[in-house]
Structure 1
């Protein structure tokens, strides 16, 4: 990595950087810290793509990569793939370091599929998400991990701070989370600028209580799934919604899910009906204006005709 860094140091005009290091025998656990330190040196870098999947991160002595006040505010798009790794505490510290280097991210994609994520890593990840307040697009792939139910609150707290977020794609499938801990704490109602939302919660233990709690962001369990629609009404800009809820033992509450679907349809129909009524009103106003213009035109024509008749009469008298 040091050889790569020394060679890249000559590329001062680097705008796009794609690094693939998957399927390596072993990588030091401070690799993210090193990359964060090196990448901060490129003032024109706009997009960074790092694929470090399927590696065995070895815990080694942390080297001092002090960057001082060196920040990178040119980077807008960041993708980090850490799939199928043994994520350790040191990796969490390195990732924390890397995020601090980038102050103006607009798009962030993180894939952590099939990892046994440690609590500290998840807590550090979600806390760093909260600092990226300019994010507009966030994609998190956290499927097939052993994420504790108590940690979902950390994720919700991180998301709630992203007020500029317009696109959110979260995959929490195959984590064994309970519904109360997923829906009650994601705080989606606070993301009022969302236009695109994808939420994959397949193969979790949502159950009946989970479907009742779909919409609540303060973990207050409601009596029905109607609260989901009510919660999403705060997201007034939402135009695309995709939910995956399969294999969650929700059979007992399917009737309420159908009711929820019917309610969403009614909301959409009401919006369409409202738009239709507005169009009708506009058409009526236009018709009235046209009618009045016709009346004015007829009046003017009639006056002109009367004037002509008067002229003819006067001529006859003369």
Structure 2
């Protein structure tokens, strides 16, 4: 049987279609068209006829949709009970509690979902709304792939506690991305998030975006201890920039990591946390446990000097399986010697073939000399080092 597939880029074309009931795969793209509540209601009415859909993608970014439109859209979505794949992009609208409540009710009927992407970033929702949404997700017990963009709203500890309830039921998730950046999440919130993630024992890929919150120094212990339960985890991205994490926070991050050694790909972003050289030393304890890493990306704009750069280089020598390394050490206080020590240490990473180092705005006096030293790593297939001089 040939699947009926259709894509619509105009609301009128979609709402007037005579083949909606036979569609199995549908994509509607209406970003930035200012359809408002009226347009969303028309879309919802048409969607109610798409009862045979298995795959649905709707892009409605920046459309001035409020509670009325979101509720009408959700009513239509509630009829699509055969969905296995859903992508719903509603960021940069004006959706509040009533709209999210309707959306939660609709999602609770989609019990066959295995793939869900939901973007509600930049709307007018808070903790209680997210708790209700998580209760709905608890019905989606077949989920294996989940992406939730909940950035730039008003989430704190109460909202994150709802994830624990959802993830206790959704134990099949192998691929998870949570964008929780620029909210009101503190150490208590991260503790709740850690409890939720501890249920995800089948995770293989995790992207966790927490930049621009108020996590503070106690975040690492709770979070990394929870991830230690995820023994199948191979790909991990942690974005923790601008979170008031100082030396103690990095120490917890290092000490809590010793149980999960199967990672092959790690991205860690700690920009703007001022962990300094001592924090880098603690971070290196974290890295030394990951002996199977083949791809590593570190972003560290953190008041690091030559000492920190040298210690980082020594730690990287433990990652003997590294193939690709990306280091962003810009906006620190690293001098020529620190960069040279780092390069010398990397000579021990005998499998390294792809290297990119960004050291903009440090205290490099002889950039050509530094670059020439790195060029001695002749086994590199891809090499880039970016240096910009900054006076002391």
More helix by share: 1
RMSD of aligned Cα (Å): 3.5
Q: Which runs of 4+ in 1 moved over 4 A?
A: 33-38, 58-68, 261-264
Deviations 1:209-239 (A, max 9, x none): 112212436xxxxxxxxxx43x222xx3x21
Shift of the alpha carbon at 1:65?
9.2
Secondary structure at 1:104 match in 2: coil
Residue 182 in structure 1 maps to residue 260 in structure 2: no
Unaligned runs of 5+ in 1: 218-227, 273-318
Which structure would you say has the larger RCO, counting Cα contacts within 8 Å and 6 or more residues apart? 1
Partner of residue 268, structure 1 = 349
Partner of residue 379, structure 2 = none
For normalisation by structure 1, the TM-score amounts to: 0.68
The 10-residue stretch of structure 1 (133-142 or 14-23) with the greater mean CA deviation from structure 2: 14-23
Partner of residue 298, structure 2 = 243
Change (3 A) 1:255 1:92: closer
More strand by share: 2
Partners of 1:87 and 1:128 lie apart in 2 by 15
Shift of the alpha carbon at 1:137?
0.3
Shift of the alpha carbon at 1:207?
1.2
Secondary structure at 2:195 match in 1: helix
For normalisation by structure 2, the TM-score amounts to: 0.57
Unaligned runs of 5+ in 2: 1-69, 320-345, 354-392
Partner of residue 285, structure 2 = 216
Preserved contact between residue 30 and residue 91 of structure 1 (Cα < 8 Å): no
Preserved contact between residue 114 and residue 144 of structure 1 (Cα < 8 Å): yes
Change (3 A) 1:20 1:101: farther
Partners of 2:102 and 2:193 lie apart in 1 by 18
Greater gyration radius: 1
Partners of 2:161 and 2:317 lie apart in 1 by 46
Q: 268, 274, 287: which one pairs with 1:199?
A: 268
Deviations 1:171-230 (A, max 9, x none): 11122312342254353332222111111112212112112212436xxxxxxxxxx43x
Deviations 1:15-52 (A, max 9, x none): 21122222233522994x87566434334312111111
Q: 265, 284, 290: which one pairs with 1:232?
A: 290
The 10-residue stretch of structure 1 (57-66 or 100-109) with the greater mean CA deviation from structure 2: 57-66
